[in-house]
């Protein structure tokens, strides 16, 4: 299987017009957060954020497969002592645009930014909003199962009476099947709270998006050979992870500096893969469009 990685430069509003309808399995992105300072990276005024976001999410809606998922990593900042409400308004607006607001995951940042303020504590969580086009989206829950706690080990040794009773209450033909199910379980399904540390990059830009984050959602919402899109790519975390996991990806970045970083990132990955003698997994990189 060839893995394609496209790094595009520009505003996703423009570049996404080159991408086919219903062609992407997962959109995962951390857009520029609204900021009262207009000068910073992609700084959009909180009051105009929804207005700015909607035409872009319209494109997301178009390119996403009906079975696809859109994961939006976002967190409102404190403005004048209050949490901004533009994220809440964005959720409501996206629903009006046709998205289903399926779930809100919490990213618990175990090593949150230090600091002390007189009237608030450190902010150590962000929203991971899940939107879908349809209720029948693809989800590979088994791919993200986690090892069970100690408790389960002991319980698995002896099936408790209550569990046997519950099994007996079911259809009797499936009894053995259920027990086998229990015994095979060394892993449990996760919850909607993700505990991941931010990656403290000493490099020039802030890489707040840890690799584990896109990795988890790519495992959950795509198959090998599927297509991943990050319309606000930054320095290339999503495309790097997608490529490593055997998924095709499109990353769009408007700032020259980050765009170049993402390109370098892909090249570096290629070199590494060559060294590891799995170069055949990647036949095409850069500037290869979906259509």
Partner DNA sequence: AGCTCTTATGAATCATTGA
Partner DNA sequence: GTCAATGATTCATAAGAGC
Binding site for a copy of itself (CB under 8 A): 81-83, 85, 88-89, 91-92, 95, 100-104, 106, 108, 112, 116, 118-125, 135, 137, 139, 141, 189-193
Chain center to CA of 80: 30
Q: Taking the CA atoms of 24, 30, 32 and 34 in sequence, report the sign of the dihedral they define.
A: positive
Binding segment for DNA (CB under 7 A), chosen from 59-67, 113-121, 213-221, 278-286, is: 113-121
Which one of a copy of itself, DNA, none is in contact with 36 (Cβ closer than 5 to 8 A by kind)?
DNA
The CA–CA distances, whole Å, from 156 to 172, 178, 184, 186, 201 equal: 21, 13, 9, 9, 42
Q: How far is the CB of 129 from a copy of itself (least distance, A)?
A: 9
Residue whose CB is less far from DNA, 201 or 224: 201
Residue with token string 């055949």: 280
What residues from 213 to 272 belong to the interface with DNA (CB under 7 A)? 232
Least separation in angstroms between CB 139 and a copy of itself: 5
Residue 256 binds which of DNA, a copy of itself, none (CB < 5-8 A, kind-dependent): none
Q: Tell me if residue 274 falls in helix, strand or coil.
A: helix
Q: How far is CA 245 from the centre of its chain?
A: 14
Q: What is the Cα–Cα distance from 66 to 72, expressed in whole angstroms? A: 17
> CB 34 → DNA: shortest distance, Å?
10
240: its two tokens: 């790097």
Contact 44, 111 (CB under 8 A): no
Return d(Cα 79, Cα 205) in angstroms, integer: 23
- Binding residues (CB under 7 A) for DNA: these are 30-33, 36-39, 41, 73, 75, 77-78, 81, 110-120, 122-123, 126, 148-149, 151-152, 154-155, 157-158, 160-163, 166-167, 169-170, 174, 178, 181, 185, 188-189, 197-202, 206-208, 232
């Amino acid at each position: 299987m060839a893995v394609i990685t496209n790094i595009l430069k520009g505003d996703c509003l423009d570049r996404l017009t080159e991408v086919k309808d219903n062609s992407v399995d997962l959109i995962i992105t951390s857009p520029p957060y609204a900021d009262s300072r207009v000068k910073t990276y992609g700084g959009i005024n909180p009051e105009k954020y929804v207005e700015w976001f909607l035409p872009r999410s319209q494109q997301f809606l178009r390119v996403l497969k009906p079975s696809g998922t859109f994961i939006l990593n976002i967190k409102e900042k404190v403005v004048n002592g209050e949490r901004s409400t533009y994220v809440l308004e964005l959720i409501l607006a996206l629903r009006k645009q046709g998205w289903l607001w399926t779930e809100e995951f919490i990213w618990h940042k175990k090593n949150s930014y230090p600091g002390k303020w007189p009237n608030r504590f450190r902010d150590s969580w962000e929203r991971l909003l899940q939107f879908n086009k349809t209720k029948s989206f693809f989800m590979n829950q088994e791919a993200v199962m986690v090892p069970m706690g100690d408790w389960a080990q002991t319980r698995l040794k002896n099936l408790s009476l209550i569990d046997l009773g519950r099994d007996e209450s079911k259809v009797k033909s499936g009894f053995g099947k259920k027990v086998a199910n229990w015994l095979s379980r060394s892993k449990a399904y996760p919850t909607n709270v993700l505990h991941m540390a931010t990656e403290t990059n000493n490099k020039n830009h802030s890489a707040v998006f840890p690799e584990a984050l896109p990795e988890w959602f790519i495992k959950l919402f795509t198959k090998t050979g599927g297509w991943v899109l990050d319309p606000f790519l930054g320095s290339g975390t999503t495309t790097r992870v997608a490529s490593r996991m055997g998924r095709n990806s499109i990353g769009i970045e408007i700032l020259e500096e980050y765009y170049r970083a993402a390109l370098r990132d892909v090249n570096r990955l290629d070199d590494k893969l060559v060294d590891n003698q799995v170069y055949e997994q990647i036949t095409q990189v850069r500037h290869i469009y979906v259509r």
